[in-house]
C-alpha cells in the first residue's frame, strides 16, 4: 500500500476535525459546509465575517493543493454532464431536507452524539451505498 493513500487522508481528516473543534470551541458554531454557505448567501447581521473567511479558506486550500499536489484533485469525470448536474441538485436538495450536510452531521453531529445527526448520517450513507450498488448493477446506465 502506498503511504500517500494512508497518510494524506489521515492528515486531511485530522485537519478537518481540528478545524471543526476550533470553530465550535471559539465561536460556538457547527462546521457544516452547507450551513456556512447558506448563511453567507442569506446573511444575518453580525454573522457573516467568519462564514466568508471559511469560504475563502476552502477556495484557497483547494488552489494551494492543486499547486502543491495536483494529482490529489485530478479526477476524470465520465458520462454525460447532465448526470453531474442532477447529482449536484440532489445533493443540494438532500442538504436542505436533512438540515445539513455530511460535514455538519457526519463530523460535528456524531461527535456530539446528536440523535438527529446519527440518523441523518445513516440515511445518507445508506443512500450512497445503494446508489453505488445500482450504478454497478446497471453498468452506469443510469
User: pLDDT tens for residues 7-16?
Assistant: 888 888 898 8
Cell readout for 94 is 438532500
pLDDT of 140 reads 60
Reply yes or no on whether the pLDDT at 29 is more than 90: no
Count of beta carbons in the 10 Å neighbourhood of residue 81: 8
* For the chain, domain boundaries: 78-142
Average pLDDT for 59-84: 84
Reply yes or no on whether the pLDDT at 125 is more than 80: yes
CA 34 centroid distance within chain:
8
Half-sphere exposure of 80 (CA within 13 A, CB side): 6
pLDDT of 126 reads 93
Alpha-carbon distance values, 137 to 38, 88, 128 (Å): 36, 22, 14
Reply yes or no on whether the pLDDT at 107 is more than 70: yes
Report the predicted TM-score, pTM, of the whole model to 2 decimal places. 0.71
Mean pLDDT of the chain: 84
Average pLDDT for 69-91: 82
Q: How confident is the model at residue 3 (pLDDT cuts 50, 70, 90)?
A: low
Amino acid at each position: 500500500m502506498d503511504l500517500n493513500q494512508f497518510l494524506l487522508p489521515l492528515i486531511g481528516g485530522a485537519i478537518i476535525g481540528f478545524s471543526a473543534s476550533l470553530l465550535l470551541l471559539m465561536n460556538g458554531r457547527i462546521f457544516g459546509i452547507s450551513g456556512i454557505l447558506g448563511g453567507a448567501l442569506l446573511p444575518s447581521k453580525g454573522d457573516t465575517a467568519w462564514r466568508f473567511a471559511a469560504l475563502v479558506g476552502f477556495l484557497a486550500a483547494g488552489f494551494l493543493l492543486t499547486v502543491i499536489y495536483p494529482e490529489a484533485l485530478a479526477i476524470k469525470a465520465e458520462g454525460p454532464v447532465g448526470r453531474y448536474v442532477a447529482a449536484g441538485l440532489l445533493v443540494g436538495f438532500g442538504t436542505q431536507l436533512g438540515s445539513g450536510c455530511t460535514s455538519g452531521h457526519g463530523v460535528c453531529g456524531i461527535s456530539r452524539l446528536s440523535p438527529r445527526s446519527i440518523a441523518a448520517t445513516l440515511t445518507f450513507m445508506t443512500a450512497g451505498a445503494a446508489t453505488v450498488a445500482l450504478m454497478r448493477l446497471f453498468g452506469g446506465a443510469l
